[in-house]
Amino acid sequence: MLKKIKVQSLASNPWVLLVIAVLAAGLLTFWVYRFLEGREDALKARLAEEMNRQQRVSVMVPTRDLPVGTPVDNSAFAARDVPADLVFEDVIRASDFDAVSNLKLVRPVSRGRPVRRADLEALQARDFSDMLEVGKRALTIEIDATNSAAKMLKPGNHIDLYLLTSGAGGGGAKAGGAPGPKDTDKTARMLLSNVVVLATGQDVRPRDLGEAFERQRAAQRNGDPNDEAAGYDSLTLSVTSEQAARIALAQKVGALRAVLRNAADKRETPAIALHERTLFSAEDTGDTVQYIVGNSGGNMLGTVPELPAAAVAGNAAGNDGRGAQADAALAAAQKLAAAQQANMERLASALSGSPPGSVSGTGN
């Protein structure tokens, strides 16, 4: 009875209740703190793992010590993930393996060390003249967006060069010094076929390598479209000394047009010389004359081509050295005209019922 009374007295004591409440709140607070601390540690560990995964890059490393001259292939190289802050900008990524495949090492590389661009031929920093074949010359020409396949030409591409001129020159002047038809012709001629592009602007990297590192260049430029490296206004070509002289002279004569071709196409482009006056020659029907032969039925003959005898005569007068040929051509033209006239008279007589030699007019 005494214990029961004592417990009831303690339960009715406010100080005892206050102590119990404080202890309960403390325990609850401690449990919540430990719970949240555990969740925080788990979140930190997961975020750290994700950050480490994002900050690691896959690079190309040799599986054994490799000497100079070893080609890049699957048997000697493998991919390895390394922290991003330990990777130099010029280290070859594993994703670029196909772009550098079959290139040879220009310096020995130790096992496990990431391969850098300077370790491979065609990517090492070297003099531009070393890229020229023996007997070849490097010649630079100016181009624009239209003349460079919309700035998509890359080093290593093959092109054909055409020369565009605004006159055929000489031999086409009329009497009195006036320009003739030949002097005003625009002409397109094949200048050189299957020319190799060494550089676009100052970019000398081979075509596939330039494409493989395009993303890296874009990242370095921070996506700035106005960066000078994004475009170019010149092409450097690999030519012989004779071809260099032809191109240098052609640049003074007219405009050059570069036409991209497939690198696997080894055939020489046939010689082409196209004049403006012959561009649509296949559609030219020549001078025509219309003969009308009528009778009571109102029959009409259609358009009949006529040989331009005046042009033949003018050509004969302007070329004294070919007088005999011009006379023969003129005589042939006259015979052809007489034959046509005789045919027309016979046809007219057949239609009108009159004797040959008289062409009747329209009937009443």
Q: What is the DSSP string of 91-125?
A: BPBGGGHHHHTT-BBSS-B-TTPPPBGGGBTTTS-
Note whether 100 and 190 are same-domain residues. no
Q: In terms of residue numbers, what domain contains 205?
A: 128-169+184-280
Note whether 223 and 245 are same-domain residues. yes
Note whether 115 and 147 are same-domain residues. no
The residue ranking higher by pLDDT, 285 or 127, is 127
Does some domain include residue 102? Answer: yes
Give the pLDDT confidence of 10-23 residue by residue, as tens digits: 667 778 788 888 89
Tell me what the mean pLDDT of segment 183-196 comes to. 86
Q: How far apart are CA 204 and CA 125, in angstroms?
A: 11
- Element at 239 (helix H, strand E): strand 234-239
Note whether 274 and 148 are same-domain residues. yes
Does some domain include residue 227? Answer: yes
Tell me what the mean pLDDT of segment 257-270 comes to. 88
296 has a pLDDT exceeding 80: no
Secondary structure of residue 134 in the 3-state scheme: coil
Question: pLDDT-derived band of residue 55, with 50, 70 and 90 as boundaries?
Answer: confident
Tell me what the mean pLDDT of segment 224-246 comes to. 77
Note whether 92 and 148 are same-domain residues. no
Note whether 114 and 210 are same-domain residues. no
Note whether 134 and 110 are same-domain residues. no
Note whether 134 and 273 are same-domain residues. yes
Q: What percent of the chain has pLDDT over 90?
A: 19
Whether this prediction's pTM lies above 0.85 is answered by no
Q: How far apart are CA 233 and CA 144, in angstroms?
A: 6
Note whether 211 and 143 are same-domain residues. yes
Tell me what the mean pLDDT of segment 86-94 comes to. 85
Q: How far apart are CA 153 and CA 199, in angstroms?
A: 9
CATH code of the domain containing 64: 3.90.1210.10
Note whether 106 and 213 are same-domain residues. no
Does some domain include residue 92? Answer: yes
Question: pLDDT-derived band of residue 284, with 50, 70 and 90 as boundaries?
Answer: very low
